[in-house]
Amino acid sequence: MPASNVPAAAAVPADSHDLIRVRGARVNNLKNIDVDLPKRRLTVFTGLSGSGKSSLVFGTVAAESQRLINETYSAFVQGFMPSLARPDVDVLEGITTAIIVDQERIGGNPRSTVGTVTDVNAMLRILFSRLSQPHIGPSNAFSFNVPSVEGTGVATAKVGDGRKTTKTFSTLGGMCPNCEGMGTVSDLDLTQLYDAEKSLREGAITVPGYTADGWYLRTFTSSGYFDVDKPIGDFTADELDDLLYREPTKIKVDGINLTYEGLIPRIRKSMLSKDVDAVQPHIRAFLERAVTRTPCPECDGTRLAEPARTATVAGVSIADVCRMQITDLARWLRTVDDPSVAPLLENLRGTVDSFVEIGLGYLTLERPTGTLSGGEAQRTKMIRHLGSSLTDITYVFDEPTVGLHPHDISRMNDLLLRLRDKGNTVLVVEHKPEVIAVADHVVDLGPRAGVHGGQVRYTGTVAGLRASDTLTGRHLHDRAALKDEVRAPRGTLPVRGASSNNLCDVDVDVPLGVLVAVTGVAGSGKSSLIHGSVSTRDDVVAIDQGAIRGSRRSNPATYTGLLDPVRKAFARKNGVKPALFSANSEGACPTCKGAGVIYTDLVTMAGVATTCEDCDGKRFSPDVLEYRLGGRDISEVLAMSVEQAVDYFAEGEARTPAASKILTRLADVGLGYITLGQPLTTLSGGERQRLKLATAMADKAQVYVLDEPTTGLHLADVDQLLGMLDRLVDSGRSVIVIEHHQAVMAHADWLIDLGPGAGQDGGRVVFEGTPRDLVAARSTVTGEHLAAYVE
C-alpha cells in the first residue's frame, strides 16, 4: 500500500498528558493563581525573594506529589512519615513523582559521610572484598558501621542421639573497636561536670538535667556508694571512681528497681552518641564546653579496624582511598582493571566522575555530611539521581548554583539539561541569569514580595521574558560597573601561616575600613581562611546561613527582640502587664497553649496539625485580643509584614522608636516582605542570614563577616544589599564577604582571590588588589569571569 494511503495512527489518550495543570493555588501568599507547566522540560521560576516561587513549586506541586505517594503506604508505615496536609489548591493534575533536591543539611547522623550517602563506599567495599590482598572477608569487613562479633551457642543435632554441641560463630566487621567507627574519641573536662566544693545534695553536678532535686540525682544519692553531704573534692579515690565510672549496677530507689551507672558512661550514652547539632541548645552549649574530640589513636581517624586498614588493592587500602581527593580517586580507579568486577568498576567510575563534573572533585569520601554547606549538600544529592534509571520524574531544585563560582555554573546547567534529556521534568527556583538563559520555559512571579506578590506575571520563553516589562525582565541584563574610586583602608588585619583544611600556610593582610570580597572557585579555601583565621577574633561578627536555633514558636519578632518594645507599648496603652502579649506566657490561648495549632497523635498513622478553633490560629486568648494599639490587636500586628510595620510604628498612637529601629534594619537587608510572626523554620538560608545580619547590626562590632549574602536575592535586590554594605562601611565598620556574585566583586574596594583550583589544587592567595586591577590582569579564573561580566 502506498505510504500516502496508510491511515494515520489513532491518537493515544495517554499522550495528551504533557502538562502539570495548577488551578486556584492559594498556598501562603499565592493569590488564586492558574499556571500550566510543561512536562519533560526545564522550567525556571523567577521573581523576588518572597514572591511565591517556593510556595508554588515546593508548597504546592512537590507537596501534593509527596502526599499522594505517602497515601499509597499502609497506615502503619504512614505512622513513621511526616504528616502532609493537602495544599490549598482547587485543581492539580498531571503531577508525577517529585524528588526534592534542596539545600537542607544531609542527615543528622555523625557516621554519615560523603561516601556513604552516595553509595560510593558501598561499591568500594565490594571492590575490596573481591580484589584486596590479603582477602579478609565479605564487604562488611570494610564497613566502619559494622562491628566484629564473636560468640558461642548450643545446638542440638536432629539425627542420632540428639546430643547438644557447642558452636562458635563470628562476624568480621570493619568498625574500629576503640572509637566505634566514629573516627574520633571524646575526652570530658571533669571540671565542667561537677563543682568539687559542693556536695551532691547541694547540687554539685553541673551537667544539664542533673538538678539537686531531679530523678537522675536520686539514683546517685540512693546508691549508698558515697556520702551525699560530703563535698566531691573530699571523696576518696574509690568514691570518685564510683561516681564517675561505675559499671551499670542494679539498685532500689523507693522500692523501685533501677540501674545505677557512673556519670561519664551515662553522659556518653545520652549525649555524646548524638549529633551535636541535633540536641537542645543548652545541651549543645554544655558539650562545647566539656568535650574535646581528637582523632582516634588506634585507627588514626579512618574509623576502620586493622584488617580493613591493611588489605590493599594495587597497594592502596580502602582507608587511603576514602582520604583521597575525589579527583585523585577518579584517576586511581582508572588504574584498576579486572574483568571480574568490570560492571562494578564502570558504575563506580561514572559516579566518581559525576562528582568532578558537578564541581565537587575537591571533597573526600570520608568528609562528614554535617560539614557540607547548603550548596555542597544539594549537589551531593544530585549525584544519587544522575545515574538513576528512573524517568518521567519531577526533579525540584532550590537555587542549585548556591556556592558555585561562575566558572562552575555552566557545568551545573549541563547536569540539569542531562536530567531533562532523560525524560524528566525539571523545576528550578533560581535567580542567576546564567541558569535562566538555558530554560525551556520560565514562570515569573511577583510583582513584588509577600502580600504584594503571589501572582503570575509572565510565562513563556526566555526571549519573551527579556522583552517583558516584569521586574525580572527589566533587570535580566543588569551589570554592576567597576567603581572609579575605591576607599582607602584604615589598617589591616594580619593572617599568618593559615593552614586549616587545604590552606598552604597562607599569609595575607585583610584591609580594614573597606568592603573586602574573598573570591575563588568552590573548595579553594575561602571559608577556611576567613572562618578559621578571622571570624574567631574579638570585635568580629560572623554571619552565616546556618539554621537559627529555636523552636517552631520562634519568629522574626522574638528573634530580633522586636516583640519586647511592642509588648511594652501595648501594656502602656492598655494599663496591663506586658506578659499578656506573649503567646509563650500569660497571653497564650489556653487550648493550644499559644502554638496556634493542635497537634493530634494518631498512633499508627501520621500525626495531624489542625488550626486551633478557639483562637483561629491567632495564638492568644480572646480577652488579650480585646486590647488594641493604633487600632490593631497583637495578633494583627504579628500578621503584618515588615514594610507595613515600619509605617505602623513610625507615627500616631502606635509610635514606638525602639521597634522602628529594628524594623528599619530588617527592611535594609531586604526582608521587608516577611511577616513579624512567620515561624523561623520557614525561612530560607539567605533569609536566615539576612535576619542574623539585621540583628547583628545593633552590636558594636567593628568587623562583619558575611558568607554569600546574595544567596536567595533577586537581581533587583542586589543593589539594595550593596547599598546596605556601603552604609556599614561608611559608618566606620569593616565588611568582609565571601562571595561568588560578580556584582559584589565589582563593587568591592579590595579583592582576595584564592585558588588556583579547589581542594589540594587551591589553598593559596592568587591575587590581592582592586577589582579594576584584577580585570586588567585577567590572571585568575575569577578575573576572566569578572572581566566578561563588566565588559
Q: Do you know the residue count of the chain?
A: 791
Distance separating alpha carbons of residues 710 and 739, to the nearest angstrom? 8
Please report which confidence band the pLDDT of residue 420 belongs to, taking 50, 70 and 90 as the band edges: very high
Match 562528614 to its residue by C-alpha cell: 368
The residue among 342 and 210 whose pLDDT is bigger is 342
Please report which confidence band the pLDDT of residue 1 belongs to, taking 50, 70 and 90 as the band edges: very low
Comparing CA positions, the residue from 464, 406, 471 lying closest to residue 713 is 471
State mean pLDDT over 640-660. Answer: 92
Distance separating alpha carbons of residues 287 and 292, to the nearest angstrom? 9
Spell out the SS3 assignment of 2-40: CHHHCCCCCCCHHHHCCEEEEEEECCCCCCCEEEEEECC
Has residue 152 got a pLDDT over 90? no
Distance separating alpha carbons of residues 302 and 297, to the nearest angstrom? 10
Check residue 620 and give its pLDDT: 92
Comparing CA positions, the residue from 97, 105, 71 lying closest to residue 86 is 71
Check residue 715 and give its pLDDT: 85
- The pTM (predicted TM-score) of the whole model is 0.80
Is the C-alpha dihedral spanning 254, 257, 263, 269 positive or negative? negative
DSSP code string of 248-272: PEEEEETTEEEEE--HHHHHIIIII
State mean pLDDT over 153-170. Answer: 63
Report helix, strand or coil for 359: coil
Residue 575 identity (one-letter amino acid)? G
Check residue 496 and give its pLDDT: 95
Distance separating alpha carbons of residues 381 and 368, to the nearest angstrom? 14
**Residue 589 in contact with residue 600, Cβ under 8 Å?**
no
Strand partners, 133: 312
In eight-state DSSP terms, residue 278 is: G
Distance separating alpha carbons of residues 232 and 229, to the nearest angstrom? 9
Q: Which of 161-165, 313-317, 424-428, 681-685 has the lowest mean pLDDT?
A: 161-165
Distance separating alpha carbons of residues 105 and 113, to the nearest angstrom? 12
Please report which confidence band the pLDDT of residue 164 belongs to, taking 50, 70 and 90 as the band edges: low
State mean pLDDT over 453-482. Answer: 92
Check residue 300 and give its pLDDT: 93
Q: What is the mean pLDDT of the chain?
A: 86
Match 567593628 to its residue by C-alpha cell: 702
Please report which confidence band the pLDDT of residue 604 belongs to, taking 50, 70 and 90 as the band edges: very low
Has residue 80 got a pLDDT over 60? yes
Please report which confidence band the pLDDT of residue 605 belongs to, taking 50, 70 and 90 as the band edges: very low
Residues 6+ apart with CB under 8 A from 602: 79, 608
Has residue 158 got a pLDDT over 60? no
In eight-state DSSP terms, residue 247 is: P
- What CA dihedral angle connects 629, 631, 632 and 633, to 10 degrees? 60
Has residue 108 got a pLDDT over 60? no
Check residue 647 and give its pLDDT: 92
Check residue 212 and give its pLDDT: 65
Q: Beta-strand (E) ranges in 125-273?
A: 149-156, 164-171, 184-188, 249-253, 256-260
% of the chain at pLDDT higher than 90:
46
All 3 cell numbers of residue 6? Answer: 496508510
Please report which confidence band the pLDDT of residue 394 belongs to, taking 50, 70 and 90 as the band edges: very high
State mean pLDDT over 585-589. Answer: 88
At residue 737, φ and ψ (nearest 5 deg) are -120, 135
Distance separating alpha carbons of residues 556 and 771, to the nearest angstrom? 36
Check residue 382 and give its pLDDT: 83
Most confident of 289-293, 360-364, 607-611: 360-364
Comparing CA positions, the residue from 523, 477, 522 lying closest to residue 501 is 523
pLDDT 10s digits, 732-791: 999 999 999 999 999 999 999 999 988 888 999 999 999 999 999 999 999 999 999 988
pLDDT 10s digits, 227-249: 878 898 888 888 888 888 888 88
Check residue 463 and give its pLDDT: 95
CA distances (Å), origin 290, targets 190, 284, 287:
8, 10, 5
Q: Kind and range of the H or E element at 493?
A: strand 492-498
Check residue 225 and give its pLDDT: 79
Report helix, strand or coil for 752: strand
Distance separating alpha carbons of residues 393 and 675, to the nearest angstrom? 34
Is the C-alpha dihedral spanning 508, 514, 519, 523 positive or negative? positive
**Residue 462 in contact with residue 472, Cβ under 8 Å?**
no
In eight-state DSSP terms, residue 760 is: G
Strand partners, 441: 43
At residue 124, φ and ψ (nearest 5 deg) are -65, -35
Render the burial of 279-300: b for 16+ CB within 10 Å, e for the rest: beeebbebbeebbeeeebebbe
Please report which confidence band the pLDDT of residue 20 belongs to, taking 50, 70 and 90 as the band edges: very high
pLDDT 10s digits, 504-550: 999 999 999 999 999 998 889 999 999 989 988 888 988 877 667 66
Check residue 550 and give its pLDDT: 62
pLDDT 10s digits, 670-718: 888 889 998 887 777 678 878 888 888 777 788 999 988 888 888 888 8
Match 571570624 to its residue by C-alpha cell: 535
Distance separating alpha carbons of residues 289 and 312, to the nearest angstrom? 40
CA distances (Å), origin 268, targets 187, 272, 469:
10, 5, 61
Match 551525699 to its residue by C-alpha cell: 228
State mean pLDDT over 461-485. Answer: 90
Please report which confidence band the pLDDT of residue 396 belongs to, taking 50, 70 and 90 as the band edges: very high
Q: Which of 329-338's residues contact partners 24+ apart within 8 Å by CB, and which partners?
A: 329/365, 330/355, 330/356, 330/361, 336/127, 336/131, 338/130, 338/131
Has residue 388 got a pLDDT over 70? yes
Comparing CA positions, the residue from 274, 204, 201, 267 lying closest to residue 233 is 204
At residue 20, φ and ψ (nearest 5 deg) are -95, 115
pLDDT 10s digits, 329-382: 999 999 999 999 999 999 999 999 989 888 889 999 999 887 887 778 888 888
Please report which confidence band the pLDDT of residue 603 belongs to, taking 50, 70 and 90 as the band edges: very low
Please report which confidence band the pLDDT of residue 88 belongs to, taking 50, 70 and 90 as the band edges: very high
In eight-state DSSP terms, residue 489 is: P
